[in-house]
Structure 1
Amino acid sequence: MPAYVVLTRERTHDAEELATYGTKAKAAREGHDPQPLAFYGDFEVLEGSDMEGAVILRFPDMAAARAWYQSDAYQEARKHRFQGADYRVFLVDGVENI
């Protein structure tokens, strides 16, 4: 069953750190092959707090999503995300055809 990692950027603090994160996060995808379904495209907040953008990554299952997130390469990238912006990140199990 697919799983999704959703990242919402709420507020940027340091654009340079965020650029470093972007470079390192892209490299951290190697060997994990997430499928980007949304990547900072146009959006509209219908309810809840405002945000600056969002990313949705599809993985084959929860284990694959966790393996990517917990990988050494992504953990290194994540340090720069923490310095660059406030994010909300969550993992959600997908569903088969309803």
Structure 2
Amino acid sequence: MPAYAVGHLHDVNVGPDIVEYLNRIDATLEPFGGRFIVHGGPVDVLEGSWSGDLIVIAFPDKASAHAWYASPAYRRILPLRTRNSRGDVFLIDGVTDDHKATDVLAGLPTV
């Protein structure tokens, strides 16, 4: 099942450290099958409000996503981002191609 690394970043200081991070991150993703599917950019807000940048990186599975985040190559460049932005980053499982909205009901307690 696919998994995703999701980052919602704010106050990104785009200076030499962030440029170096961007120049180096793709090489850290490659061994784990990671690829960007969303990488910032303007959003069309339809409901509520939005600020910051959204980053979504797809991986073949959650084990690959965890292995990437813990890898020595990524850990070396991580401070380049964390010293120059704030935000939330998490890993989450995707769903299968045949997923239906009602599939989540099976995991809920019955009333």
Structure 1 residue runs without a partner (length 5+): none
Cα distance in structure 1, aligned partners of 2:15 and 2:8: 16
- What TM-score do you get using the length of structure 2 for normalisation? 0.76
Which residue is 2:23 aligned to?
A: 23
CA contact (8 A) 1:2 1:95 kept: yes
Which residue is 2:79 aligned to?
A: 79
Q: Which runs of 4+ in 1 moved over 3 A?
A: 44-49
Q: What secondary structure does 2:81 align onto?
A: helix
Name whichever of 2-11 and 28-37 sits farther off: 28-37
Cα distance in structure 2, aligned partners of 1:89 and 1:35: 16
Structure 2 residue runs without a partner (length 5+): 100-111
- What TM-score do you get using the length of structure 1 for normalisation? 0.84
Which residue is 2:13 aligned to?
A: 13
CA contact (8 A) 1:8 1:54 kept: yes
5 Å matches for 1:9-88? 9-13=9-13, 15-44=15-44, 46-47=47-48, 50-51=51-52, 53-88=53-88
Q: How many residues align?
A: 97
* Pairwise CA distance, 1:44: 3.9
In structure 2, what residue type is equivalent to 1:71? S
Identity of aligned residues (%): 29
Computing the radius of gyration over CA atoms, which structure comes out larger, 1 or 2? 2
Cα distance in structure 2, aligned partners of 1:43 and 1:49: 8
Aligned-residue CA RMSD (Å): 1.8
Q: What secondary structure does 2:11 align onto?
A: strand
Which residue is 1:2 aligned to?
A: 2
Cα distance in structure 2, aligned partners of 1:43 and 1:14: 19
Whose RCO is larger (CA < 8 A, sep 6+)?
A: 1
